[in-house]
Amino acid sequence: MRDLRDVWVYLSANPLLHLTLTLIAYRIGLAIYQRGGLNPMLNPVMIAVILLVSVLTMTGTSYQTYFEGAQFVHFLLGPATVALAVPLYRQLDAVKRSAAAVLASIAAGAATASITAVGVAYALGASRDTLVSLAPKSVTAPVAMGISEQLGGLPSLTAVLVMMTGILGAMLGPVIMNLMGIKNWAARGLAMGTTSHGIGTARAMQVNATAGAFAGLAMGINALATALLLPLVWRLVFGK
């Protein structure tokens, strides 16, 4: 056991170890997801998070140490987000035909996501810091963390809430929409992108190209609108 610990200490000093662990964890999650018939309850991101947290906890590895390697994957979030423009461009005619409905649905979804989350937390006696951190939970992580910091919240807490929202949305969203009889791929994509940002958009793209395009559009518009309007509305309602 001592020899194994010595080997781990040696390997953990190399940032590439944690990059490799991240890729392996996701590959395991993806394999389980595919073997499960693409069951949304077997979300590969959720499985990867559980595996990584378990390994880091058992080895006593800090997040800062882990991120030295994982930052290479984090860097790719930018190009991946920009790449969402490709499927959106392919569905541009469909987007133009339903522009008014798209904007209205995204606005309604974004407002509902923030108001319900903050309202429930407020009713349960959450602190102001928690309320601020919770408000942008349905926006992609970099934007949500910036909004939270601007309003005096806790960006780290916001990041966790954003991740939980995305995973739960990707897992439960398709199930709920099936129960409600929502079959239109554009509507399903808008719902996933508005409420579950990048993780929901990735799930929509795996299922249908139209759903993926509309999810990417919803994620982008929701992030932009929330970044511009949420700080103004928050200060108007709650003050500084």
Is the domain of 114 the same as that of 184?
yes
Tell me the pLDDT of the chain (240 aa) as tens digits: 555 555 455 555 566 778 888 889 999 999 998 888 888 788 888 899 899 899 888 888 777 788 777 777 777 777 777 777 777 777 788 778 888 888 888 888 888 888 898 899 999 998 888 888 988 888 888 788 888 888 888 888 888 888 888 888 888 888 899 999 999 998 999 999 998 888 888 888 888 888 888 898 888 888 888 888 888 888 887 766
Is the domain of 98 the same as that of 70?
no
Question: Is-contact 152 129, C-beta < 8 A?
Answer: yes
Is the domain of 133 the same as that of 164?
yes
Structure tokens at 198: 């990048």
Q: 18: number of CA atoms within 13 Å, CB side?
A: 26
d(CA 23, CA 3): 26
Contacts of 69 (CB under 8 A, 6+ apart): 14, 15, 16, 17, 18, 19, 20, 21, 22
**Residue that is written with structure tokens 């423009």 in the block:** 85
Is the domain of 136 the same as that of 201?
yes
Is the domain of 227 the same as that of 110?
yes
Write down the pLDDT at residue 27.
Answer: 92
Is the domain of 33 the same as that of 110?
no
Last residue of a domain, one of 40, 75, 110: 75
Write down the pLDDT at residue 14.
Answer: 63
Last residue of a domain, one of 41, 75, 109: 75
**DSSP state letters, 41-97:** GG-HHHHHHHHHHHHHHHHT--HHHHHHHHHHHHHTHHHHHHHTHHHHHHTHHHHHH
Is the domain of 205 the same as that of 155?
yes
Is the domain of 69 the same as that of 99?
no
Is the domain of 118 the same as that of 203?
yes
Is the domain of 56 the same as that of 92?
no
Structural domain harbouring 172:
81-238
Please measure the distance between the N-terminal and C-terminal CA atoms of the chain and give it in whole angstroms: 55
Write down the pLDDT at residue 13.
Answer: 58
Tell which residue, 208, 181, 34, has the closest CA to residue 193.
208
d(CA 12, CA 170): 32
Degrees, nearest 5: CA angle 140-146-148? 95
Is the domain of 28 the same as that of 105?
no
Last residue of a domain, one of 41, 56, 75: 75
Count the domains in the chain.
2
Is the domain of 218 the same as that of 142?
yes
Rg of the chain, C-alpha, whole Å? 19
